[in-house]
Amino acid sequence: MKTISGNHKVSIRQSWRENVLLTVIYMILAGTAIVVLYPVVWVILGSMNPGDTISSTTYLPERLTLSHYVSLFEEKDYLIWYKNTLFIAFMNMIISTVLVVTAAYAFSRFRFPGRKQGLMVMLVLQMFPSFMGMIAIYILLLQMNLLDNHWGLILVYAGGSIPFGAWLVKGYFDGLPRSLEEAAKIDGASHTSIFFRIMIPLSVPMLTFIAVSNFIGPWMDFIFARLVLRSNDNKTLAVGLFEMVTGRANNEFTTFAAGAVLVAIPITILFLFLQKYIIEGLKAGANKG
């Protein structure tokens, strides 16, 4: 009887500790959610606040308006900036993913002179911030007549994504069993067939993660877009929105907030529809990298 009573007390203590731990975890999660969501809600409400000031005397503005969203398309070149950014992000996603995956497959499955040195160079390049090469990139684009050109920006983004992406995807390819490729070779499959029919289907989560990452980078970038693009017809969203709130005469903060809200929509949609593949790609990269 004493043993049963003692076990009962131990189970009660364990249950109490688990409840306390769960309560603490939920409190931390709730606090984190509030910290993350509060600026988002504040910007959304600020974008519907009348006037040019994004702040209000009350948390909820007395009157909400969508006039700032309308003025973005009627009075600004916002639609042109949106199309430019979408084109740059989409083309970079395609080109970068192709370059990253093919480079990763070559480094993972083939042995050739300079392979180790190439991997080491890509590893070292990741240690330096991208803005260190801004002057060199500017001169190269100037000599290639690609300044104020979307393709110049796309080439910069695509080239810059190779080192990190190739290392990540190579680690994933290294974790895939070679027996599948050996069986395919016995059946007469070429390296091209193996790549497209075996490696690509098995790597969908990782490829989705790489593609989404390469889409988000140009979509949110400001530094290189500001460096390369000059004319108003070629500006991206980041550059166009920045100019709304810089200088003494530019104080359209509510219009800026409305534009920022619209900028977040494509990224949010991508994460909502592809979050399963993104999470699987992250886990795969962590486990097999």
What does pLDDT average to in each consecutive run of 10 residues of the chain (289 residues)?
55 77 91 88 82 62 80 87 92 93 88 84 77 83 89 90 86 83 82 84 85 87 86 88 74 83 86 76 54
Q: What is the pLDDT of residue 97?
A: 92
C-alpha torsion angle, residues 91, 96, 97, 101 (rounded to 10): 150
Q: What is the pLDDT of residue 289?
A: 43
Query: Does residue 57 fall inside a structural domain?
Result: no
Query: Does residue 51 fall inside a structural domain?
Result: no
> CA dist 202 to 68, 180, 205, 208, Å?
46, 11, 8, 12
Structural domains of the chain, count = 1
> CA dist 100 to 21, 145, 157, 171, 240, Å?
43, 26, 12, 12, 30
Q: What is the pLDDT of residue 83?
A: 93
Query: Does residue 166 fall inside a structural domain?
Result: yes
Number of continuous H segments (helices) and E segments (strands) in the chain:
13, 0
Q: Which domain holds residue 208?
A: 70-288
Token pair recorded at residue 52: 């040019």
CB 136 within 8 A of CB 75: no
Check which CATH number belongs to the domain holding 246 and give it.
Answer: 1.10.3720.10
Q: What is the pLDDT of residue 87?
A: 94
Query: Does residue 44 fall inside a structural domain?
Result: no
Q: What is the pLDDT of residue 32?
A: 93
Q: What is the pLDDT of residue 95?
A: 94
CB 281 within 8 A of CB 206: yes
Query: Does residue 222 fall inside a structural domain?
Result: yes
Q: What is the pLDDT of residue 287?
A: 47
Query: Does residue 147 fall inside a structural domain?
Result: yes
Query: Does residue 213 fall inside a structural domain?
Result: yes
- Going by C-alpha positions, the residue among 21, 18, 153 that lies closest to residue 92 is 153
Query: Does residue 34 fall inside a structural domain?
Result: no
Q: What is the pLDDT of residue 60?
A: 65
Name every residue whose Cβ is closer than 8 Å to that of residue 65 and which is 6 or more positions away in sequence: 48, 49, 50
